[in-house]
Amino acid sequence: MPLPKPHDDETHDDWMNRCMGSDVMQDEYPDDDQRLAVCESIWSKEQKMSRDKVERRVFAADDAELRVTNDDEPQIVGYAARFGKWSEDLGGFREKIKAGAFDGVVGDDVRCLRNHNPDLLLGRTAAGTLVINANAKGLKFLNTPPNTVTGRETMESIRRGDITGCSFSFRVAKDEWHEDKAGRVERTILEFERLFDVGPVTYPAYPDTSVATRSLEAWKAKREASPPDELTAEERGEEPPVEEPPTEEVAEAPEAPAEAPAMEEHANEPTSPAEIIAAAEAAEKARARAAVDKQLGL
């Protein structure tokens, strides 16, 4: 059987207790000192791998909408992330988050930290002092800070406008890379693997994009090394086709019934000049006779 590994939310002490008592570890390493050393080594390795995959993004005032409520028990409210909005240049690429990307991680045990500092803890979902949910705009959080120096100072700094930005730490499960017609490289985050923390930040500084940059380099290397026919449209850097709405079939109008042939009312009318003159003279003579007959009482 494979050796156990630390869970994402597991503390060092909890891991060591579980690892030392594991049946698998006891069978593989019956000596306590050796098993202790192996458990410590597994913990250190997993921690390093976890740190290497963690990314952070910062959202400034307009997108963060950071504020403190005026309730009897004031709360910190803001957006840690926004959907569908392109970021600024992140060092060779820009990025957006697809709606639904947080669906698999909103149930994670997430902390609310100031400046990502675990010593400046403001809340935690497992304790009910932090609530996160994904709505139409993005990932919104509602934090009930503690009545501590950190909690009170953070709220006062937000009220004064000294702190306006929000940030979050995460690992990506699935993303897509694309190059548009202008040559800009774009990344769309489709699904998050883990959400670690959210919270206010003093400096909406340049985000940590080292993990994304490695993913970008891997995408470029794959695109250059693979034949075009083995790549998807996105991997080739092609823009996805625009789906045109289906057109409704327009029924052809029924043909108009053929006009009935005109009645031959004037079939015997004269057509040549001589016939016309003769017809006029005959009509004049008929009118003259009619007038005479009328005078004679005929």
For residue 220, CA distances in Å to 96, 105, 120, 214 come to 19, 28, 39, 10
Whether 266 is covered by a domain: the verdict is: no
Residue 69 corresponds to which tokens in the numbers above? 């409520």
> Are 98 and 188 a contacting pair, CB within 8 Å?
yes
In the listed set 190, 207, 224, which residue is the last one of a domain according to the structure?
207
191: left (phi over 0), alpha (psi -120 to 50) or beta: beta
Per-residue pLDDT in tens (0 to 9) along the chain, 298 residues: 788 888 866 788 888 999 999 999 999 999 999 999 999 888 887 765 555 578 888 888 788 899 999 888 999 999 999 999 888 888 888 899 999 999 999 999 999 999 999 999 999 999 999 999 999 999 999 999 999 999 999 999 999 999 999 999 999 999 999 988 888 899 999 999 999 999 999 876 445 445 555 666 777 787 777 666 666 665 555 555 555 555 555 445 455 555 544 444 444 555 566 666 667 677 777 776 766 566 555 5
Asked, for residue 126, whether it belongs to a domain, the answer is yes
Whole-Å CA distances, 163 to 60, 65, 129, 204, 285: 10, 11, 20, 9, 114
Is residue 154 within 8 A of residue 165, CB to CB? The reply is: no
Residues 145 and 37 in one domain: no
Say if residue 141 is in the same domain as residue 158.
yes
Q: pLDDT tens digit string along 148-163? A: 999 999 999 999 999 9
What's the rounded Cα separation, in Å, for the pair 47 and 16?
Answer: 13
Are 113 and 165 in the same domain?
Answer: yes
pTM of the model: 0.60
Give me the domain span that covers residue 68: 57-207
Last residue of a domain, one of 166, 192, 207: 207
User: What per-residue confidence (pLDDT) applies to 262?
Assistant: 45
Whether residue 237 contacts residue 85, with contact meaning beta carbons closer than 8 Å, is answered with no
Do 93 and 183 lie in one domain? The reply is: yes
Q: For residue 147, count other CB atoms closer than 10 A to its CB.
A: 7
Which residue, 240, 237, 246, is CA-closest to 219?
Answer: 237
In this structure, the answer to whether residues 203 and 61 fall within a common structural domain is yes
Q: How many H helices and E strands in the chain?
A: 7, 10
Tens of pLDDT, residues 12-57: 888 899 999 999 999 999 999 999 999 988 888 776 555 557 888 8
Whether 38 is covered by a domain: the verdict is yes
SS3 of 187-230: the string is EEEEEEEEEEEEEEECCCCCCCCHHHHHHHHHHHHHHHHCCHHH
Of 207, 241, 256, the last residue of a domain is 207
91, part of any domain? yes
Identity (one letter) of the amino acid at 215? S
